[in-house]
């Protein structure tokens, strides 16, 4: 383990940025697009579901980001492959020790829907995971798009929408995901689950030598601090590496409005002063207002200083994770596709087509960077267009047949 790892350095300096694709989100094309854009924008970590196909999709996008260079697209110096080869994000996989809102999907029988239903579920879904195409196409929830936010549940006029929870089987999934070369594991837990947490942790321990980081995600609740100290003792008995406490304030709500960030900040303040040692990272309701609010509360680490990992008034947050809000910033590109189409275009000799892909990619990266850069102000290369990379041949195009 070394502080020369860019993601670990970001944690130590308080400007760690994590993209949350979703613990139950399995739409592979969107995962590739999100990972590609946020990798190019400077993300330190990509958090995905414990699904080999999802992990592979994210890895493909990271690899594409670190080798991509398209003539005439005028991408920024910070997305040049020489820069990205030394700054690739860590890939994290989320597991749970019991029922959790992040590990569920909505379900309903579309045949029961009234013919005159205004379909509020379809309109309210932030992931376009509910659709009613013309028969014979299947109607209802598109499972791979649903990430379990639950917004559709209360709006159904006949109250028929339910959620189906999933608890991962560590004995089955851990060998598969570790074989793919992931960098970190995040455990989602809730107060009162010490025994369940210990069982899951025992399954993870044999794989710890191959991991760079462990994270624990938890909601607010009674006796939360005491619970975290218990988990800290369980983990530290066998793990001495970086440990992140993710304060999941208001899960999957960041795209609803600026006020959703308050719960994560409030929980973080308590954990910073009273919680166990480790890095504290915000999540759950984070959005474009989070950095500003954190700065106003004195929770950001001053430039040039290191994050304190010990509890007390001097402790500051190590970073911020963004999920639903990060996805919302790229909605237009997720709808039209980016990464898969890009791979096809960069293999073509048509410079105009390749240029069009570059322009779409540039626009998506700019949108992602607008969320990343406030946390990393002054610490990353500015996303300015430069023509000096426009004539560099594309490694992707050279490595693959037309």
- Which domain CATH number covers 117? 3.30.70.20
| Residues 180-224 pLDDT 10s | 999 999 999 999 999 999 999 999 999 999 999 999 999 999 999
pLDDT at 399: 28
| Residues 307-319 pLDDT 10s | 999 999 999 999 9
Q: Are 303 and 295 in contact (CB under 8 A)?
A: no
Same domain, 126 and 268: no
Residue 214 inside a domain? The answer is yes
Would strands 243-248 and 130-131 be described as parallel, antiparallel, or unpaired? unpaired
pLDDT at 136: 79
Predicted confidence (pLDDT) at residue 345 exceeds the cutoff of 60: no
pLDDT at 29: 93
Task: For the chain, give the percent of residues with pLDDT over 90.
Answer: 67
Q: Between 123 and 383, name the one with better pLDDT.
A: 123
Average pLDDT over residues 4-15: 86
Q: Between 3 and 136, name the one with better pLDDT.
A: 136
Predicted confidence (pLDDT) at residue 2 exceeds the cutoff of 80: no
Same domain, 110 and 225: no
| Residues 45-90 pLDDT 10s | 999 999 999 999 999 999 988 877 544 444 444 455 555 666 789 9
The residue out of 114, 149, 165 marking a domain boundary is 165
Tell me the C-alpha to C-alpha distance, in Å, between residue 142 and each of 60, 137, 138, 341. Answer: 23, 12, 9, 22
| Residues 151-183 pLDDT 10s | 999 999 999 999 998 888 999 999 999 999 999
Average pLDDT over residues 339-367: 63
SS3 at position 72: coil
Same domain, 62 and 35: yes
Give the position of tokens 């790892």.
5
Residue 393 inside a domain? The answer is no
pLDDT at 254: 66
pLDDT at 383: 40
Which residues form the domain of 49? 6-100+168-329
Q: Are 204 and 233 in contact (CB under 8 A)?
A: no
Would strands 104-107 and 162-165 be described as parallel, antiparallel, or unpaired? antiparallel
pLDDT range class, residue 276, cuts 50, 70, 90: very high
Same domain, 307 and 292: yes
Structure tokens at 224: 């939360």
| Residues 280-298 pLDDT 10s | 999 999 999 999 999 999 9
Predicted confidence (pLDDT) at residue 401 exceeds the cutoff of 60: no
The residue out of 114, 142, 165 marking a domain boundary is 165
Number of domains comprising the chain? 2
Predicted confidence (pLDDT) at residue 355 exceeds the cutoff of 60: no
d(CA 8, CA 201) in angstroms, rounded, equals 22
Give the closest residue to 346 by CA, choosing from 334, 360, 335, 332: 360
SS3 at position 13: helix
Average pLDDT over residues 35-52: 95
Residue 362 inside a domain? The answer is no
pLDDT at 116: 95
Residue 377 inside a domain? The answer is no
pLDDT at 210: 97
Mean pLDDT taken over the chain? 85
pLDDT at 390: 32
Predicted confidence (pLDDT) at residue 394 exceeds the cutoff of 50: no
Predicted confidence (pLDDT) at residue 321 exceeds the cutoff of 90: yes
Predicted confidence (pLDDT) at residue 382 exceeds the cutoff of 50: no
Structure tokens at 358: 């570059």
Same domain, 179 and 321: yes
Residue 81 inside a domain? The answer is yes
pLDDT at 340: 56
Same domain, 140 and 211: no
């Amino acid at each position: 383990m070394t502080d020369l790892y860019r993601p670990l350095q970001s944690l130590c300096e308080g400007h760690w940025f994590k993209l949350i694709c979703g613990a139950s989100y399995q739409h592979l094309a969107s995962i590739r697009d999100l990972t590609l854009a946020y990798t190019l924008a400077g993300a330190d970590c990509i958090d995905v579901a414990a699904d080999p196909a999802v992990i592979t999709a994210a890895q493909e996008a990271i690899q594409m980001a670190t080798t991509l260079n398209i003539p005439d697209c005028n991408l920024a110096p910070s997305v040049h492959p020489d820069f990205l080869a030394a700054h690739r994000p860590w890939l994290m996989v989320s597991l749970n020790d019991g029922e959790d809102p992040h590990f569920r999907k909505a379900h309903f029988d579309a045949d029961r829907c009234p013919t005159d239903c205004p379909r509020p579920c379809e309109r309210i879904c932030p992931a376009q995971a509910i659709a009613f195409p013309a028969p014979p196409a299947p109607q209802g929830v598109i499972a791979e798009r649903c990430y379990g936010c639950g917004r559709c549940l209360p709006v159904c006029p006949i109250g028929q929408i339910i959620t189906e929870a999933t608890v991962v089987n560590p004995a089955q999934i851990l060998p598969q995901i570790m074989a793919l070369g992931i960098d970190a594991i995040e455990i989602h837990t809730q107060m009162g689950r010490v025994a369940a947490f210990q069982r899951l942790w025992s399954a993870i321990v044999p794989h710890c030598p191959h991991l760079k980081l462990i994270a624990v995600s938890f909601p607010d609740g009674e006796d939360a601090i005491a619970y975290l100290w218990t988990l800290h003792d369980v983990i530290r008995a066998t793990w001495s590496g970086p440990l992140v406490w993710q304060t999941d304030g208001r899960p999957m709500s960041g795209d609803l409005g600026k006020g959703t960030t308050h719960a994560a900040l409030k929980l973080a303040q308590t954990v910073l002063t009273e919680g166990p040692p480790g890095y504290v990272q915000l999540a759950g309701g984070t959005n474009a207002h989070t950095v500003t609010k954190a700065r106003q509360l004195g929770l950001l680490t001053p430039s040039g200083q290191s994050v304190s990992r010990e509890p007390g008034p001097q402790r500051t947050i190590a970073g911020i994770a963004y999920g639903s809000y990060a996805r919302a910033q790229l909605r237009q590109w997720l709808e039209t596709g980016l990464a898969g189409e890009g791979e096809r275009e960069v293999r073509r000799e048509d410079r105009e087509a390749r240029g069009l892909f570059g322009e779409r990619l540039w626009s998506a990266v700019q949108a992602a960077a607008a969320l990343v850069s406030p946390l990393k102000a002054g610490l990353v290369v500015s996303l300015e267009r430069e023509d000096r990379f426009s004539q560099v041949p594309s490694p992707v195009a050279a490595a693959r047949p037309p």
